[in-house]
Amino acid sequence: MFEYDKISADDYDRLRGRYEPLTDALRTLVDVGVHTDVDDATVREALVHLEAATALLQQRLREDRPVLRHADTGRPVTWGNPAVGLRNAISPPIVVEHDGDGRCWSEFTLGPVYEGPPGWVHGGVSALVLDQILGEVASDSLSKARFTGTISLRYVRGTPLGPLRAEAFVERTEGAKTFAKGYLMDADGVTVEAEGVFITPAWARDAG
């Protein structure tokens, strides 16, 4: 069972203003880490700065990582999430839009750190993005507890690195099972199709 604390809109914006530039700086560094061609001495010089930054940021760490909900929207604050987390430099991030009509979509850019075969998005990264957006649409914007039961992905063609769009919608619900579908696409159309079954856990079924 999850415990939720609320975070006010003001606190949310204040913390976002504090941490978003940090995550962006880390994303830049992850990218530079893949591409740098400097010599040993320069790497060592950079490491001194990275260790200094780590020491500063480690001065106070969150111990408990409570699950927060935004006081206005009621949606969980998934700051640490590797697909959508604004505090997780692993995430592109994907910002998922909810149109309130049982559909979600997102427009985002995947750069070289998400590359599998040369020039193409790693198939597993496409899966990560689609699992997230299908899960969000299946759980009513994460307002209900739903976990991935199965997900199937069909790679129609290669997904090029660059600007992309993902969409998802709920097909139907049967008891504890929600059936969702979605697509990853570039400017020329669909590159990956996804179908998933999301399950309401037993402990959440009474609550609807």
Looking at residues 72 to 91 of the shown chain, list those that interact with a copy of itself (rule: CB under 8 A). 79-83, 85, 87-90
Name residues contacting a copy of itself, limited to 129-158 (CB under 8 A): 129-132, 135, 145, 147-155, 158
- Burial string for 38-53 (b: 16+ CB within 10 Å, else e) reads eeeeeeeeeeeeeeee
Please identify, using beta-carbon distances, which residue of 133 and 170 lies nearer to a copy of itself.
133
- Report the alpha-carbon distance of residue 80 to residue 62 in Å, rounded: 12
Tell me the window of 99-107, 120-128, 169-177, 181-189 that interacts with a copy of itself (CB under 8 A): 120-128
Q: Residue 46 and residue 70: Cα distance in Å, rounded? A: 38
Closest to a copy of itself by CB, 7 vs 83, is 83
Alpha-carbon distance 115 to 101, whole Å? 33
Of residues 18-77, those binding a copy of itself (CB under 8 A): 18-19, 21-23, 25-26, 28-30, 32-40, 42-43, 45-47, 49-54, 56-62, 65, 67
Contact 108, 164 (CB under 8 A): yes
Smallest distance, a copy of itself to C-beta of residue 170, A: 17
Q: What is the footprint of a copy of itself within residues 164-193 (CB under 8 A)?
A: none
CB closer to a copy of itself out of 101 and 122:
122
203: contact with a copy of itself by CB under 8 A: no
Q: What is the torsion angle, in degrees rounded to the nearest 10, for the CA atoms of residue 3, residue 69, residue 95 and residue 23?
A: -80
Residue 125 in contact with residue 82, Cβ under 8 Å? no
Please give the size of the binding site for a copy of itself, defined by CB under 8 A: 79
State the nearest-atom distance from the C-beta of 101 to a copy of itself, in Å: 24
